A and B are shown apart, each in its own frame.
Chain A
């Protein structure tokens, strides 16, 4: 009788012990959950050097990992959007687009637009495209001693890159890669943003007048409100469910660190984005002028690789498609990927579904 009781106590636990175990595990998980929400992960760790700076903008060059004779001849410039930090391109070691391209022999440069201050409230796309970007490219050419270069623009960075490529086709741009590029706003019902800003009561002037620069919180809330349940509920439930899975937690933490790092957008640039692009669709209509120069897409001659995310709710595919008919490039290709605006480049599948295709296309054109 005594033996039986002992044997039972070894194989099963009492309800009280179960509750104690649950309590212990729950407090441990809650503590980790809290830390993940409040502390930053280490991101953007690929070694790089600052090679140029102007106002808040900085140009970085990544330290090569491939012998000089095995490197691609044409350097690659990465241009990210102006309303987020560019660290999503270099999220974490072992899962970084920058690291991937450096390992595949590219001389990679990254343009960080920086965080605009009150003194930058008058910055417009004219300035980004015709003051900053040409200077960045001039420096890049001086450093690399190469008169040709490739450019990869993501989101609003793709918009700036497209305008630059159209305005300065003779400047040495050999290859242009556009990622989820918001260029065509003809469909006023496409996606939440387009619909919201086209409402007659939505007045960007009032927002800019009130804030100077549009606060990052306003932009961040707008982006998250496009998918409120996914961003405000599922995101955290998924984390809680996988909190004991180290690799998933690391991925979530790195992404959340980037998402939380919100920055304001220069007031004049915001006003221009809403009025001249979203509302009046000037780029596609051929009526856009930057510093008095008309942006004519047919002047864009560089080889073009247009990456479209099929599940993109921020830049719906229809906003990136029509450019293919308007550019003057002879060598052009559309590449469609399953996934969302950020997921196609920073999600878990990016390493297999997107990066190798960019490398294959660009590698063949970088010698």
Chain B
């Protein structure tokens, strides 16, 4: 009688989800994990992905072509041009790295002499 009746927290936005979890979250999690590992889900996922790629790829290609042509018309480098340039820079970086290592190797005996 002396205990105060518990007042539900009406400002708890996760209250319902919490209640749901307390009652059956583990089962829900397990059944969802089983579902995503099922043949049905696997097939549906692959097909959905293919359908999305099939419909979106032509639009993406069109956009890329248009952008590339616009850049060309403005005498500006396209994304592919920049990618090629970056690729060449990486190759130069690799050569520099190799040269740096060789230089280290050549200087090593001198450093050792100095330290002795």
* Residues of chain A whose beta carbon lies under 8 Å from any beta carbon of chain B: 12, 15, 18-19, 22-23, 25-27, 30, 52, 54-55, 117-119, 121, 131, 135, 138-139, 142, 191-192, 195-196, 199-203, 206-207, 209-210, 225-230, 233-234, 236-237, 240-241, 313
- Alpha-carbon gap, A233 to B20, bound state (A): 11
B83 at the interface (CB under 8 A from A): yes
Tell me whether A228 and B32 are in contact in the complex, defined as CB-CB below 8 angstroms, given that A54-B93, A233-B17 are known contacts.
Answer: yes
**A-B pairs under 8 A by CB, number:** 107
- Alpha-carbon gap, A298 to B80, bound state (A): 42
B60 at the interface (CB under 8 A from A): yes
8 Å CB contact of A138 from B14, B33, B60, B101: B101
A-B contact pairs, 26 of them (CB 8 A): A12-B4, A22-B10, A55-B90, A117-B86, A118-B83, A119-B82, A119-B87, A135-B97, A138-B101, A139-B101, A191-B37, A196-B42, A196-B46, A201-B47, A202-B46, A203-B50, A206-B53, A210-B53, A210-B56, A227-B32, A228-B33, A228-B36, A233-B21, A234-B21, A237-B17, A241-B14
Residues of A contacting B18 in the complex (Cβ-Cβ under 8 angstroms): 237, 240-241
Shortest CB distance A321–B (Å): 20
B104 at the interface (CB under 8 A from A): yes
Residues of B contacting A139 in the complex (Cβ-Cβ under 8 angstroms): 101
B70 at the interface (CB under 8 A from A): no
8 Å CB contact of B37 from A118, A135, A192, A210: A192
Q: Are B42 and A199 closer than 8 Å at their CB atoms?
A: yes
Q: Are A119 and B83 closer than 8 Å at their CB atoms?
A: yes
Q: Are A23 and B11 closer than 8 Å at their CB atoms?
A: yes
Interface of A is mostly: helix
Q: Are A54 and B90 closer than 8 Å at their CB atoms?
A: yes
Shortest CB distance A206–B (Å): 5
Q: Are A202 and B49 closer than 8 Å at their CB atoms?
A: yes
- Alpha-carbon gap, A203 to B45, bound state (A): 12
Shortest CB distance A226–B (Å): 6
Q: Are A207 and B49 closer than 8 Å at their CB atoms?
A: yes
Q: Are B50 and A119 closer than 8 Å at their CB atoms?
A: no
- Alpha-carbon gap, A302 to B28, bound state (A): 45
8 Å CB contact of B94 from A23, A121, A131, A236: A131
Q: Are B21 and A237 closer than 8 Å at their CB atoms?
A: yes
B12 at the interface (CB under 8 A from A): yes
Given pairs A202-B46, A234-B21, 13 additional interface contacts (CB within 8 A): A27-B11, A54-B94, A55-B93, A119-B82, A135-B94, A135-B97, A207-B49, A209-B57, A210-B57, A229-B25, A237-B14, A237-B18, A240-B14
Residues of B contacting A233 in the complex (Cβ-Cβ under 8 angstroms): 17, 21, 25
Q: Are B90 and A201 closer than 8 Å at their CB atoms?
A: no
8 Å CB contact of B46 from A15, A121, A199, A313: A199
